């Protein structure tokens, strides 16, 4: 064992949220029920390890439904899909299992409702992110994307008293509030979403990082580079006072030089990250002089979502068959 060099602060909550757990279990159940291959449109969640593990079990990840053979089973990812994608899948007679997180679906419903009432919708989110593409697809003619304050000057609305902002679920809370403030200076009549679009999991993981960042010389965030909520945790850590912070997919990506002069290491993980990857980071740190782990708790999470209904009814049907 190495000479003691310091301690670890471990964020709680971290890792899997209810929507990710449901989406990953949905693919596993689909494989059990239908057998391989089960097609998945886009990464089921934005995590390299999760995708590689499901691939080994027989999941086939595709970019678009036109890559799925007619009549096959396809799972839609946790980030959601536009109505156009659902229509394409139907046209190809695909058996779809919709693993869209219910909290993403909630934002889709809001977009539909405000579009029906003929509002202009300003969707705050990251250009090109799958969730944003799905949400915008609900009401393309009514929705404009605001990807940071730089986009605000280009926004055009028809009636400044009939404008609402909505957002992607996995943004930085503080950055989004700043964007909303700037939008409100341009459109004082701007309305807010009926409830928070940034989900509980995103908020809680950011809160836990904020609580520990001021004490940390280094914050390691486990997560993939295309995972919006994971990348945000690095930014939040630095903004909240961590001296240094890095995103790693695996313990093997940690650079020994990051530990130079480091007494306290913060550790957390994004909402799409299995706990095994965090355990491996803690083991890696323990063998390098950081064996003591103290938890920093920001919230208690108990939310669990039921599986997509397509799986529930299939399982029910199978159970009846075997009776
Ligand atoms: O990492 P994720 O798959 O997705 P983003 O953070 O990039 O949105 O985490 C699950 C979130 C959802 C939906
Ligand atoms: Fe749902 Fe939030 Fe998890 Fe995304 S991060 S899957 S919105 S609970």
| 298 has pLDDT over 60 | yes
What are residue 294's phi and psi, to 5 degrees? -120, 130
Token look-up 């950055």 returns 175
Nearest CA to ligand 2 atom 6: 19
| 78 has pLDDT over 60 | yes
Q: How far is the CA of 16 from the centre of ligand 2 (A)?
A: 9
- Mutational pocket test of ligand 1: of 42, 45, 203, 226, the residue with most ligand atoms within 8 Å of the beta carbon: 45
Half-sphere exposure at residue 205, Cβ-oriented, CA atoms within 13 angstroms: 30
**Residue 273 burial (CB count, 10 A):** 28
Q: How far is the CA of 167 from the centre of ligand 1 (A)?
A: 14
Known catalytic residues are 131
**Ligand 2 contact, 18 CB (< 6 A):** yes
Nearest to 77 by CA among 51, 110, 115, 113: 51
Distance CA 51, CA 31 (A): 14
Q: How far is the CA of 134 from the centre of ligand 2 (A)?
A: 14
Distances (CA, A) of 225 to 43, 45, 132, 234: 13, 12, 17, 11
Give bridge partners of residue 61 from the DSSP assignment: 40
Indicate left, alpha or beta for 136 from its phi (over 0: left) and psi (-120 to 50: alpha).
alpha
**Ligand 2 contact, 171 CB (< 6 A):** no
3-class SS of residue 184:
helix
**Ligand 2 contact, 10 CB (< 6 A):** no
Q: What digits encode the pLDDT tens for the residues 131-160?
A: 999 999 999 999 999 999 999 999 999 999
Q: Which residues line ligand 1 (CB under 6 A)?
A: 19-20, 45-46, 78-79, 101, 104, 131, 169-170, 227-230, 270-272
Q: How far is the CA of 270 from the centre of ligand 2 (A)?
A: 10
| 170 has pLDDT over 90 | yes
**Ligand 2 contact, 202 CB (< 6 A):** yes
CB 50 within 8 A of CB 24: yes
CB 227 within 8 A of CB 50: no
Q: What ligand is nearest to the CA atom of residue 22?
A: 2
Q: What ligand is nearest to the CA atom of residue 77?
A: 1
Span between the terminal Cα atoms of the chain, in Å? 56
Nearest CA to ligand 1 atom 1: 227
Q: What digits encode the pLDDT tens for the residues 192-234?
A: 999 999 999 999 999 999 999 999 999 999 999 999 999 999 9
Nearest CA to ligand 1 atom 13: 79
Token look-up 């002089």 returns 289
Beta strand 73-76 with 95-98 is: parallel
**Ligand 2 contact, 26 CB (< 6 A):** no
Nearest CA to ligand 2 atom 8: 19
Q: What digits encode the pLDDT tens for the residues 45-73?
A: 999 999 999 999 999 999 999 999 999 99
- pLDDT value of residue 317: 46
- pLDDT value of residue 323: 30
Structure tokens at 57: 């079990």
Tell me what the pLDDT averaged over the chain comes to: 96
**Ligand 2 contact, 101 CB (< 6 A):** yes
Q: How far is the CA of 227 from the centre of ligand 1 (A)?
A: 5
| 1 has pLDDT over 80 | no
Handedness of CA 164, 87, 90, 44 (dihedral sign): negative
- Render 55-121 in DSSP notation, one character per residue: HHHTEEEESSGGGSPTT-EEEEPTT---HHHHHHHHHTT-EEEE---HHHHHHHHHHHHHHHTT-EE
Quote the strand ranges of the chain, DSSP E.
Answer: 7-12, 38-41, 59-62, 73-76, 95-98, 120-124, 143-146, 163-167, 218-222, 245-248, 264-269, 292-297
Q: Model's pTM, two decimal places?
A: 0.96
- pLDDT value of residue 316: 39
Beta strand 59-62 with 73-76 is: unpaired
Q: What digits encode the pLDDT tens for the residues 11-23?
A: 999 999 999 999 9
Give bridge partners of residue 246 from the DSSP assignment: 220
């Amino acid at each position: 064992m190495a000479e003691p060099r310091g301690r670890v602060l471990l964020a709680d909550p971290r890792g899997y949220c209810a929507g990710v757990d449901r989406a990953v279990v949905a693919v596993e159940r689909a494989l059990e029920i239908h057998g391989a291959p089960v097609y998945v449109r886009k990464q089921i969640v934005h995590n390299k390890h999760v995708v590689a593990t499901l691939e080994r079990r027989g999941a086939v990840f595709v970019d678009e439904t036109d890559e799925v053979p007619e009549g096959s089973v396809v799972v839609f990812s946790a980030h959601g899909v536009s109505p156009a994608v659902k229509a394409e899948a139907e046209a190809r007679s695909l058996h779809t299992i919709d693993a869209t997180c219910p909290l993403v679906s909630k934002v889709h419903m809001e977009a539909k409702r405000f579009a029906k009432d003929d509002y202009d919708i300003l969707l705050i989110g990251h250009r090109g992110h799958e969730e944003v593409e799905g949400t915008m697809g609900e009401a393309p003619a009514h929705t404009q994307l605001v990807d940071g304050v730089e986009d605000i000057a280009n926004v055009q609305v028809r009636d400044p008293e009939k404008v609402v902002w909505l957002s992607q679920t996995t943004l930085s809370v503080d950055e989004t509030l700043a964007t909303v403030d700037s939008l409100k200076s341009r459109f004082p009549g701007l309305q807010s979403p009926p409830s928070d679009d940034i989900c509980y999991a995103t908020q809680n993981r950011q809160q836990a990082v904020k609580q520990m960042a001021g004490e940390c010389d280094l914050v390691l965030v486990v997560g993939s580079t295309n995972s919006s909520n994971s990348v945000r945790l690095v930014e939040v850590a630095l903004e909240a006072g961590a001296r240094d912070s890095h995103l790693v997919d695996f313990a093997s990506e940690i650079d020994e030089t990051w530990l130079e002069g480091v007494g306290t290491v913060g550790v957390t993980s994004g909402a799409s990250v299995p706990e095994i990857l965090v355990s491996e980071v803690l083991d890696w740190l323990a063998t390098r002089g950081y064996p003591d782990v103290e938890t920093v708790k920001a919230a208690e999470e108990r939310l669990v979502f039921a599986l997509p209904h397509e799986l529930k009814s299939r399982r029910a049907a199978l159970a009846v068959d075997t009776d």
